[in-house]
Amino acid sequence: MDKSKKQILEQTTNFVVQEFGMEIDHPQEITEEELRDMLAECVLYWIEHNLEHLFSILYRLDVHEPSVHRAFAPEAVEPANLVIAQLIIDREKEKIRSRQKYSSQNNDDDDGVSRW
Higher-confidence residue of 102 and 109: namely 102
- By residue count, the chain amounts to 116
Residues 6+ apart with CB under 8 A from 101: none
Note the pTM of the prediction, 2 decimals: 0.84
- The tens digit of pLDDT for each residue in 41-95 reads 999 999 999 999 999 999 999 999 999 999 999 999 999 999 999 999 999 999 9
Q: For 5-33, write each residue's pLDDT tens digit.
A: 889 999 999 999 888 888 888 878 899 99
Burial class (CB in 10 A: 0-12, 13-18, 19+), 62: exposed
